[in-house]
Amino acid sequence: MNGRPSQTFRIAGMDCADCARTIESGVAKLDGVQSCAVNFGAATLRVEGDVPHEAVVARVRELGYDAKIENEELRIAKGDFLNSQFSILNFLLARRDTTLALIGAILILPGLVFNELLPFSGVESVLFDVTSIAALLVAGYPIARSAWRSLTINRQININVLMTIAAIGAVVIGAYTEAGLVMVLFALGEALEGYTTERARDAIRSLMAVAPDEATVLRPCMDCREHMGQDGYSGGPCPFCGLHEQRVSVSALRIGDVIVVKPGERIAMDGRVRTGASSVNQAPITGESLPVLKQPGDEVFAGAINGEGVLEVEVTRLAGDNVIARIVRMVEEAQERKAPAERFVDRFARYYTPAVVALAFVLAIAPPLLFGAPFMPTAGDQGWLYRALELLVVACPCALVISTPVAIISAIGNAARHGVLIKGGAYLEALAGVQAIAFDKTGTLTEGKPSVIKVKSVNCTDPATGVCDRCADLLALASAVERRSEHPLARAVVAAAEDSQLNARYPAAQSVKAIAGKGVSGRVADRDVLIGSHAHFDQVLPHDRALCDEINALSTDGLTPVLVGTDGAFAGYIGIADAVRETSRQVIDELHRSGIRATVMLTGDNAQTAQAVARQVGVTDVQAGLLPEQKVEAMQALRDQYGAVAMVGDGVNDAPALAAATVGIAVGGGTAQAIETADVVLMGDDLRKLPFALQLSRAAMRTIRTNIALAIGIKLAVLALVLLGLGTMWLAVLADVGASLLVTLLGMRLLHYCPADTAAQA
């Protein structure tokens, strides 16, 4: 490409997809711009061509938004409103346009109550019209300004033009309250859409918080004064001093640097273990349910949590290219690919608005000019100006504009009461069309934490069930040692002993010693107790072949075996696994009954564990051992096969797949990043809310289709009467108000919808 390299800008004030199209169209008209694209989800604008960045910023601001080069500070009205108890109110007050919408909502109340809701109350005052006009002017100013700029700069008629023409038409025939109400509702809807969008964008950026900002790096002593002059040393790295630990920003690290990761710390950078051995919890990155042993030569990821040992890690990727940074980029790119389709009303308005304006003009002028028909009303004729004004009133899209939002708001409100957060109408609509659902395993279909599933002593008196006092004693003995360990498996053993009230049978072990990556030992009640992996016991404490096969069978069933030995003899084993949620099977079965064609498990865990869980919950397909980018690829393949696909997850590692899905669904007990990235959140950690959300979305879409058909059908019927000269101004108003009331009542039925309704309909 001839010209400048591509430039990326951060955009502020972009609340809807229509805003993105307005910016794209306006910037594309600048001289020198070869191409431009707005990523609505990430609030960025990429421009290619020989154009000064000052010209791009000026054009964006001319269109009513703000822009800065991506690495510059952007003036965005942020603050703490996103985390505030009154966050929506604070958001409305943080920006001028949304504050005006809020003021307009207050001003419209008198006219709404006495002119529209209670017209027969006998309470009349010119003040109601004044406040309605004031609401129109206050809330409608930003909308009319945007409409004017769209017409003069982009030469396009957008949805703001549609709203402005509707409001002007209502004023022309004296429907001041209706004019103000159209502007207020539209302005508030745009404000709420902007609030949700800003929360999502902030959540994407917060993904970076998973990795620490600083790291401990090994660096040589530079220009050492103590050894200066010895053996010809004159400066630079000191040959006499060893490497020293220094705390530095991760941005200062370079490929090849060696960082020290202490027990319990998060790993700061992607790298390769150089020395040390430790169990590393990679669940935030790969979704693996249990810690993974890392030894020299093994790869580790930024954001993973180190276990009991000290690791020296050689950095293999820079901060801007580590696994967390790649996840952020994938989330943004996936959101760009799945940008919501243009809203129906906006698409319709591209043809509807100019057609109505042209038709009204022709209706007022053509008959008087061509046929000598009366222009103004006469005793025996309405006059064609009156008919044109009727047409504008009929064309006022109040019912059409309200038909979809009222159903969406009712459905979202009902969902919230049932513990389901749906972040917008686009996601409600998309959920209704889902044909396949993919699930993360750890923390979604399973509990997300290791639990003791089986305890078996070699002296078990009840081999059939493995439940006897000797098995209980084995658990109590192991718990006495594991109380001194911070390993996740140790915590599972201690928790199981506490649940069985065995934690007081033995005192905490003495002389506890961790065997890095292999196990732990200690002395309990004058007995030497060893707890470790099967592989470690194979080396140091041989056991019966039949028992060995029995323990290997645990791994096939998805359990992790922990072996116990006392005084040099094998004593038994404990099987630990990430327990399957009790409701998972019920949910999967219900989804299949509701018509979902496929349920798929996508997990970073090993294939044996994944297959064991799949058998328990009943999913139709399993894909195991997936990294975040592979989950995205799997989602794309599912979309190619089934069309609309939902993804259910709870971890940071699920965020890219959640964004790549048609609908991303987060489990409420998961990470904040997954919850913020997702389009739908199941609050309260209850998967049983998923079938309800699916059924509610389908009911909402049936209602929306009915509402749109009624809104357009009634308008067309009254329009026919107007053209035939059989209509009146009050009939046009009645049709508009009546249609609005009808679609509102139909939409509000969704407030009381429950799953039983769908079952009855079926």
Q: Which residue has the tokens 């389709």?
A: 341
Closest alpha carbon to 551 in 580, 523, 569, 571:
571
Distance (Å, whole) CA 669 – CA 666: 9
Closest alpha carbon to 63 in 17, 7, 21, 104:
21
Closest alpha carbon to 304 in 279, 334, 335, 332:
279
Burial of residue 99 (CB within 10 Å: 0-12, 13-18, 19+) is: middle
Ramachandran category for residue 398: left, alpha or beta (phi over 0 → left; psi -120 to 50 → alpha): alpha
Distance (Å, whole) CA 686 – CA 693: 12
Active site residues: 440
Report yes or no: 755 and 417 within 8 Å, Cβ to Cβ.
Answer: no
Quick one: three-class SS letters along 63-79?
Answer: CCCEEEECCCCCCCCCC
Mutual angle of helices 689-723 and 584-593, in 10-degree steps = 30
Ramachandran category for residue 429: left, alpha or beta (phi over 0 → left; psi -120 to 50 → alpha): alpha
Distance (Å, whole) CA 364 – CA 534: 90
N-term to C-term CA, the chain:
58
Strands ordered across the beta sheet of 621-623: 420-422, 680-682, 663-667, 645-649, 436-439, 598-602, 621-623
The DSSP call for residue 151 is: I
Q: 722: Cβ–Cβ under 8 A, 6 or more apart, which residues?
A: 387, 390, 391, 394, 732
Strands ordered across the beta sheet of 278-281: 292-294, 278-281, 305-306
- The tokens of 514 are what? 């961790």
Closest alpha carbon to 434 in 654, 569, 591:
591
Distance (Å, whole) CA 103 – CA 118: 22
Report yes or no: 236 and 223 within 8 Å, Cβ to Cβ.
Answer: yes
